[in-house]
Structure 1
Amino acid sequence: MREITRRAALGLLAAPALVGRARAQATRLRLAHPHPDSDSWNRAARLFAARVAERSGGALQVQVFGNGALGSDPTTIAAARGGTLDIVLTGNPFFTGLAPKLNVLDLPFLFRERRHVAAVLDGPIGRQLLGELEGANLHVLGFWDIGFRNVTNSRRPVAVPADLRGLKIRTTPNPAHIKAFQLLGANPAPMPFTELFTALETRTVDGQENPTTLILNARFYEVQRHLSLTRHAYTAGILAMSKARWESLPEPQREAVAAAAEEVTPQQRQMNEDAEASSVAELKAKGMQVVEAPDRAAFAAIVAEEVRRDFASRFGAELPEAIAGAGA
């Protein structure tokens, strides 16, 4: 009995060492994104990490760094392309410098609702667009959801296009976003998301445009008084892996990563859609004044066709026309 007890004790002592060796042998993948910890991106990224670990039998361990901890949107994309970061998750507009045709997804008033978005992103058009990034040293794992964008500012309610004139509005660096706000008479000021709260707080910019879920989770209500539900454009997020890192993984591990991304992507989209339903009420409770029914037709009349023509002049009209007709 004493011998059995001694062996059991030795086994217990050895167990942590065995676990430690197993963890040390695991391949660690760092995933960076700019959104707050409370956002669906962070929750879904941690779910993705858990699924990768499960599907790889613990051989892969994904570490999630949110809230811009590893740098701004351009910085993390550059790091993933250069191989010093394994996985990057950020908004489609920040990838359009590498793959300009992706700009089509950000054309104003192009998407009707989320079912239309899914029909495009998960179909042949989405696959075609993701292929555009393969030459940029990135392997794309999926389209995640950011949502339909709305305008906030610290100066006045925005109900009609004229209300935007003269306001300095932070946009992404995407040409479609910049052009749209120029047409509306605003002064677009592109900057990374990680710099935005401070710019709003110091009044470096008057306002910004993002989905209500992100306005809430980033606490923009602390530095913005007015919200207008313009829903003027949809924005997707792109989950992409360093191509060098992807190619370095054995095939079973690639399959584990791809399967985890395929499983979690629709869950993240649903998380965001569910959160959007209650976010406006929460923003009102935080003190924001909300214009719930701005004149969207008036906004669309100024920007939709003009920005689409600008895209078509460079890349042809086929993509926007295909997107407009998808899922109908």
Structure 2
Amino acid sequence: MTRIRFAPTRRSLVAGAAAVPLVTILKWPAGAAEFELKYATGQDPTHPVNIRAQEALNRIREATAGRVEIKLFPANQLGSDTDLLTQVRNGSVDFFNLSSLILATFVPLSGITSLGFAFKNYEQVWAAMDGELGAHIREQIAKTPIFTVSRIWDNGFRHITSSTREIKGPADLNGFKLRVPPAPALTSLFKALDAAPSPINFNELYSSLQTKVVEGQENPLAIIATTRLYEVQKTCSLTGHVWDGYWVLGNKRAFARLPGDLQAVITRELDRSALDQRADIASLSDSLKSDLQGKGIAFVDVQQDAFRRALAGTSFYAGWKQKYGAQAWDLLEKVSGKLG
């Protein structure tokens, strides 16, 4: 099915439309979008990634005078994350925001940003992702049928929740049945810490916790809140074990069919919403903790250095350095400092 629809008439373009005021752009006939596209996400409609994405799509429609209409499909409406990755690769979905962790199943290097305890704070994260490491990862993604449409969005630092034991230190993870996304970096991390990680797709997470298939899971606070995981979990340990981001991925062939000025508008507006969404996640951190406490979640403070020491005593970092290669590892350690 073809979703990019070319109007049979009036195909003239307004040169430089992305850079001129909206009032100077010729109006496209009402209800006659020249290009109709799909943008899928896995997150709840109330999550900042969807709120800010919809704002970007509204601005794109306005800035292109209705020529580009992008419809948002949140909450895995069009399939699981792994299904949607296939769809954006084959072009049945045009844009898809995907965790760098899950993208690593297709582009292995993308998982380097979520290496266990690599980043200590957001200053390090954005220095890496808006700098040389991020550019290197983009190059690797672009060697496939997909590419990154905008700056990376924020999924936050991930924390461990549990319905059984409290996770206070590395020893508490021994044998702990933990849901992880289908992401090699996280599976490897928790195996190194002697946990029992189970890769499960996000759309099956709640039911897996509810039916005790797993004891716990790990996600940023925004995900824990918007997907109501507090209903099936008791404690949240503030491990901050990895940072995760969302790449907005586009199908190359579909994007190439758009005139250059429309491509520029899409990237510009998604970049703007990426920065807005990053600010949302940062401001939500404190308020989400209070909200989740009010819904029954007990927070457990941990000493991250204890986890780092336990991890450094394994072959975890050496193994991933060999996998990612010296160039990528050097770019990471420029920001994170020496690992292992």
Structure 1 residue 284 corresponds to structure 2 residue 284:
no
Structure 1 gaps of 5+ residues are 1-18
Matched, 1:109 2:149: no
More divergent stretch after superposition (180-189 vs 221-230): 180-189
Runs of 4+ in 1 over 6 A off after TM superposition: none
Q: 1:321 aligns with which of 314, 326, 330?
A: 330
What is the Cα deviation at residue 308 of structure 1?
Answer: 2.1
Partner of 1:135: 143
> What does 1:3-22 correspond to in 2, within 5 Å?
22=30
Alignment-derived partner of residue 277 in structure 2? 268
Deviation at 1:21, TM superposition (A): 5.1
Q: Which letter maps to 2:46?
A: S
| 1:79 aligned residue (71, 84, 87) | 87
Distance (Å, rounded) in 2 between the aligned partners of 1:65 and 1:91: 16
- Give 1:32 deviation, angstroms: 0.6
Match of 2:31, SS state, is helix
Cα distance in 1, alignment partners of residues 141 and 269 from structure 2? 20
One-letter amino acid matched to 1:34 = G
1:135 counterpart SS class: coil
The one-letter code sitting in structure 1 at the alignment partner of 2:206 is F
* 1:68 has 2:76 as partner: yes
Cα distance in 1 for residues equivalent to 2:250 and 2:38: 10
Q: Residue 107 of structure 2: which of 88, 96, 99 is its match? A: 99
Q: Which has the larger radius of gyration?
A: 1
Equivalences, count:
309
Q: Which residue does the alignment assign to 2:169?
A: 160
What's 1:225 paired with?
Answer: 234
Matched, 1:202 2:211: yes
Greater helix share, structure number = 1
Query: Residue 118 of structure 2 contacts residue 336 of structure 2 at CA under 8 Å; is this kept in 1?
Result: no
CA distance in 2, matches of 1:327, 1:169: 26
Q: Is residue 2:184 matched to residue 1:151?
A: no
Deviation at 1:316, TM superposition (A): 2.4
Contact in 2 for aligned 1:176/1:307 (Cα 8 Å): no
Q: Secondary structure at the match of 1:110?
A: coil
Q: Does the CA contact (< 8 Å) of 1:55 and 1:260 recur in 2?
A: no
Question: Root-mean-square deviation (CA), in Å?
Answer: 1.7
Deviation of the 1:282 alpha carbon: 0.9
Q: TM-score, normalised by structure 2?
A: 0.87
Structure 2 Cα separation of the partners of residues 114 and 47 of structure 1: 24
The separation in 2 between residues aligned to 1:146 and 1:303, in whole angstroms, is 23
Equivalence for 2:56: 48
Deviations 1:243-280 (A, max 9, x none): 11101111111111111122211111111111122111
Q: Normalising by structure 1, what TM-score?
A: 0.90
